[in-house]
Chain A
């Protein structure tokens, strides 16, 4: 295989990998909301909107520790 062929294959598969990776990530972001333990990423905006020290965290660290 010449270096040109090698770089052409490399280019093709890298592009394919990135496209698949990108769409898989988008799919993941939407799918997670539908799971039983779903996370709606849109709620995360509230981390900035309700950011007083007394406000309830969107996802408290202490929840994790209790499990």
Chain B
């Protein structure tokens, strides 16, 4: 026992890898189903009128968004933290029984929270705040899970051997602090049981259902400060943490400019928090606040591109690796999609563009080129890199991985191009009017025109889902693939045919 060399302990990382894949399948399957529901409304009642309440678009939509954001993505973030955290701090979780206990508790409470969220959303319990639909008891559970993750992060940092914190650790800490602040403030809510009606009656509400502590425009402002920064601190910051570790590690190249990574970090931290106002353009929010939201969104291009270009330049002189390794392909295309969606977002946030884009499918397209192309690809790449190292086996199939890459890329392209066309068509039709100011089209006219694009979008989503199943299968088979030596794991991941 005494003489056994110390090793990193990936127990908790492996547990979260499983939930990443399982919740990815759940969230994306629901997404594909509801995409086809929009194209073919008959699907809303395909399982019979009796249970249509549970299968209609509006009941399933929050399940899709929450499962992919707080299920798939958060699990991916936790899995990579429990892997990257140990390695860059050069300390093993096996060295602390306490941290191991916290890590396992973190996982099991998270699973419990997810189960509660899925059941209540299915039953129709919802605060009706986008991406913050969970009712207050679940919110409290989520806070506990989050605090446990914090204990894990700072506990591991506390016993580290490497004095300075690697840039990825900065980004993980920012994720922890950012989400903690956002979540607490946006989920301030009161059970309706405690409310009094206008007529003075009490005790007429419910213990489980709650209303926000803010009202009207204030509620909208807090909600979109939260909503947009959920994109920042769940879909951007931790994913940047991943690419700053996994791309240099897999390619064997040092970050092109470490100083630029530090500068981009502070830029991103400062600018992102002010951009949420762009969700409320042309609403009752003060005009200066809308302008501020637009301007900060445009400024946001700088720190985002700072990181993305830094990653692409990391591959300088090593571009043959992109051709040779499907794993590097995922990361380089992920980084490119990050550049793409962080240019597209600011364009949509410009007031005159937003006048066409707001409430249309272009926004949905924007979200998905970011999440499918950047978040999804990066988490998939991270798990592919981790799998041979945590299972000590080569990746089952390189060709399957390459096929997955191309199928999913095609899926993403179909998704965002169809949504661009659909969105701009919608925006133009809603605005069109004759010389007397009468609207040229009714809402149903737009629905008719959009049908083919909705069908295309569903197909794109389906291709991405098929690719995700290939990913799940590849990882599953990796567990029984050829065992590898420690020396094979230095940089490029070993892959079977």
Contacts and interface: CB of A to CB of B under 8 A. Distances in A.
Interface of A: 18, 22, 25-26, 29-30, 41-49, 51, 53-55, 57-64
A22 to B, nearest CB: 8
Contact of A25 (B87, B245, B258, B263): B263
Considering residues B5, B161, B257, B266, which has the most beta carbons from chain A within 10 angstroms of its beta carbon? Answer: B161
A41 B166 CA distance: 10
Nearest to A45: B254
Nearest to B246: A48
A30 B257 CA distance: 12
A50 B446 CA distance: 56
Contacts of B257: 42
A64 B91 CA distance: 17
A46 B249 CA distance: 10
A54 B237 CA distance: 29
A42 B8 contact: no
A60 B88 contact: no
Nearest 6 pairs of A and B residues by beta carbon: A45-B254, A51-B87, A57-B162, A47-B166, A59-B163, A45-B255
Given A57-B161, A60-B163, A42 B88 contact: no
B403 interface: no
Nearest to A62: B161
Contact of B163 (A43, A51, A64): A64
Contacts of A44: 164, 166-167, 258
Contacts, number: 76
B245 A54 contact: no
Contacts of B162: 47, 57-61
B7 interface: yes
Interface in B235-279: 244-245, 248-249, 252, 254-255, 257-259, 262-263, 266-267, 270
Contacts of A49: 248-249, 252, 254
Contacts of B244: 48
Interface string B80-92: 0000000110111
A25 B266 contact: yes
Given A45-B255, A46-B254, 13 more contacts: A22-B263, A41-B258, A48-B255, A49-B248, A49-B252, A51-B249, A53-B90, A55-B90, A57-B90, A57-B162, A58-B164, A61-B162, A62-B161
B61 interface: no
Nearest to B259: A29
B: interface residue count bin: 20 to 34
Contacts of B267: 22
B245 to A, nearest CB: 5
A47 B88 contact: yes
A48 B263 contact: no
B248 A51 contact: no
B6 interface: yes
A61 B249 CA distance: 23
A45 B293 CA distance: 34
A51 B491 CA distance: 11
Considering residues A18, A22, A47, A60, which has the most beta carbons from chain B within 10 angstroms of its beta carbon? Answer: A47
B335 interface: no
Nearest to B90: A57
Nearest to A18: B270
A53 B88 CA distance: 9
B168 interface: yes
Interface in B168-224: 168
7 contacts: A25-B266, A42-B259, A47-B164, A48-B245, A49-B252, A53-B7, A59-B163
A45 B248 contact: yes
Nearest to A33: B259
B398 interface: no
Given A25-B263, A53-B6, A55-B90, A61 B161 contact: yes
B329 interface: no
Nearest to B87: A51
A53 B8 contact: yes
A62 B114 CA distance: 41
A60 B244 CA distance: 21
